Every structure is written in C-alpha cells, then in structure tokens.
Amino acid sequence: MKVYYSETHRQHDAPFEVLEGGVSVPVFECPERMDRILAALATTGWAEVTPPRDFGLGPIRAVHAADYLDYLQTAYDDWQAESGQLGIETLNPVLYPATFPPRRGRGKPSSVVGRAGYYTMDLSAPIVAGTYPAAAASAQCALSAAEEVARGDRVAFALCRPPGHHAGRDYAGGYCYLNNAAIAARYLTRRGKVAVVDVDYHAGNGTQDIFYEAGDVLTISIHADPARQYPYFMGYADETGEGPGAGLHRNFPLPPGTGDAAYLRALDEALALVRAFGPESLVVSAGMDIYAGDPLGDFAVTTEGVRAIGRGLAALRLPTVVVMEGGYNNEALGENVVGLLSAFLIE
Ligand code: SP5
Ligand code: ZN
C-alpha cells in the first residue's frame, strides 16, 4: 500500500494551545504522532512510504478561498512585523488571535492579528513559521494518494499532518489549516461522484461546510454530539445539505462512552447511505481519537473496533483514499492506524 508522507510536517510545531477554561497545554497534535504511525507501518512489510508529488496550488484553490490561502502564506511574517510595531510581547514565535468576529460579513481588517481572528475558529490552530509549508505538504500527500487511486490502485494512505477536516473554505481550526480530505475528494470528482466518510471523534465541520451545497460529493460524519463537544456549532443530525447538495450530508452524533457495537451500528447506517449514493470513489477521514484511551475523546472504541471499522469501509469495495486526521493516544496510534488499513489488504 502506498503511504504518502512528507517530513515537512516537523516545521509545524507550536509551543502550546489554549483549551476550554483558558488553560494552555502542549499541543496534543504533535510531530511525535507521525513517528508512532511510521514505526508501526515499518513493522508491517506492506507499507510503501513515499514522498508526495507536487500538484501545485491548483487543486487546493478548487477547495479553499484565494484570500484565505494568501493569509496562510503571509500571516507568520506579517505577525513578526506587526507585533514588533505594536510592541506586543510575544513569548513564543506563534500567531494566535484573541478577538473573533460576532458577524463575519463586515470584512477583513488590515491588522494580521485581526485577520487571524477572522480566519480562525478556535485557539487550537496556531500559526508558526513552518505552518504553511507543513499544511501545503500535507495537502500534497492527500493529492498524491488521490492520484494513485484515480490511476487504479485499490487504496492509498495519505499520512497527513497537520490534519484537515475542521478547516473550511476560508478558515482554520482544531489543528487544521487545509482540508486534505476535501482536496482529495474534489480532485477525485473528475472520475465521478465521491463519498467522504469521517470517523474522527470530532465532527468534520470543514468538510461538511465545503461540500454542503455540492451535488457530486456525499459527506458523512460520525462523531461526538456537538451539543456537548467540540466543534459545538456544526455536526448536528438535522444538517443534511442544501441546494444541489440537499440530502447529501449526514451527521451521526453519538453519546459519551460509545463502544464498538454502537459505533458499528452507526457506521452500518452510514455505509448504506454510501451504497445508495453510488460513488466512484471513497475518501475516509481517519481520526483515531474514537479510541477508548484518547485524551481528547470519551468514546470506548477498541483497537478491534477500529479493525472492524476498516472492514466495513473496505467492504464498500470502492477505490479508497484514507486520510489521516486526529488521534492523540500516541501509544496506541500506530496499532490503530495499521488495524484500520489492514482491512483494505484483504477486501
Ligand atoms: C483533528 C482533530 O481531531 N482536532 C480536534 C481539535 C479539538 N480541539 C478542542 C479540544 C477540546 C478538548 N477538551 C477536552 C479535554 C479533556 N481532557
Ligand atoms: Zn478529532
């Protein structure tokens, strides 16, 4: 199995994030995650780790707004200049907004920290010097996997970092800057309809948003109920798409403590929707924070459950791009990823 991976992710390594209650903690989404996954893949004998091809910005612009991409590329340098001019003390070389728009329609401030508030939904998407290069390389991994599958391979794994499914057309959030899965899915629509199934613990709000009115992409997310969990403002069961996309988005909000059996029941419903839609290809947003031991989650899905999820997805027998999203229990991360992917070797 081709595994697309770039070392560039190491340049994205922020010193802290801010959680609910205002507490600063080391960023859960850290470079070590990739080392854990690579180590587990190295023991398998079937993972072919390959650097991504460069598809340029074209297929990224097909998903993200030009002004947002400009912001991501220039924000860090602008912030170095602006914080100096304003005499703002920055203890760490990192850009965080502290003000968010109550109404977004007003437009964008010239101040870069003002624009950071405009383009960011929370305090888990810091921008450091290497954030844009890392995010761009991560998107190229997703595109490389999409191309591999478009060429006829049965499955490819995009080992993306930073992850992507919280990023919208013009906003970052939840460790995500460019929506890798959405970029892969939009690329694959050249072959026909695409389904995206998001199994990360958190609702895939960015992917939902990007394809909400799209008639050629079915998006489904299975996740913790946003009424009680991040991302709070999207991922509810009554959000089902609009316009040409009416009926083509589905959310499966689940309660705390959801274990293998309950999770797999929701997955079965999701898979039935995929079959009814009849896509040419499948993109899986693979977050391993559904695992019982995840520090950010509260589901009770086991490693065996993750393998069963892999079997369910593989049984669709669709050309499949698996895109790495979240998962913060580093001890278990490698085994869970290998467990999910293994299913595609058999089916
Ligand atoms: C890609 C991805 O999984 N992003 C997740 C971003 C979640 N950010 C907010 C986390 C809030 C955590 N609060 C609960 C902490 C329990 N110890
Ligand atoms: Zn997550």
Which residues lie across from 127 on neighbouring strands?
Answer: 95
Answer whether 181 contacts ligand 1 (Cβ < 6 A).
Answer: no
- Give the model confidence (pLDDT) of 270-298 as tens digits: 999 999 999 999 999 999 999 999 999 99
Whether residue 327 contacts residue 289, with contact meaning beta carbons closer than 8 Å, is answered with: yes
124 lines ligand 1 (CB under 6 A): yes
Question: Phi and psi for 176 in degrees, rounded to 5?
Answer: -115, 140
Q: Is the peptide bond before 253 cis (omega within 30 degrees of 0)?
A: no
Average pLDDT value for residue range 79-95: 80
Residue 87 has pLDDT above 90, yes or no: no
Tell me which residue has its CA closest to atom 2 in ligand 1: 326
Q: What is the pLDDT of residues 300-347, one digit of tens each?
A: 999 999 999 999 999 999 999 999 999 999 999 999 999 999 999 986
Share of the chain above pLDDT 90, in %: 94
Smallest CA-to-CA distance from 280 within 311, 321, 241 is with 321
DSSP 54-95: ---SHHHHTTS-HHHHHHHHHHHHHHHHHHHHHT---SSS-B
Q: How far is the CA of 208 from the centre of ligand 2 (A)?
A: 14
Our answer on whether the CB atom of 163 is closer than 6 Å to any ligand 1 atom is yes
- Tell me which residue has its CA closest to atom 3 in ligand 1: 326
Nearest CA to ligand 1 atom 4: 174
**What Å distances lie between residue 274 and 89, 130, 199, 271, CA to CA?**
51, 37, 14, 5
Ligand with minimal distance to 174 CA = 1
- Between the alpha carbon of residue 132 and those of residues 99, 113, 139, 176, 254, the distances in Å are 22, 16, 11, 11, 33
Q: Which atom of ligand 1 is nearest to the CA of 202?
A: 3
What is the average per-residue pLDDT within 237-247? 98
pTM beyond 0.95, yes or no:
yes
- What is the Cα gyration radius of the chain? 19
Q: How confident is the model at residue 92 (pLDDT cuts 50, 70, 90)?
A: low
Cβ of residue 173 lying under 6 Å from some atom of ligand 1: no
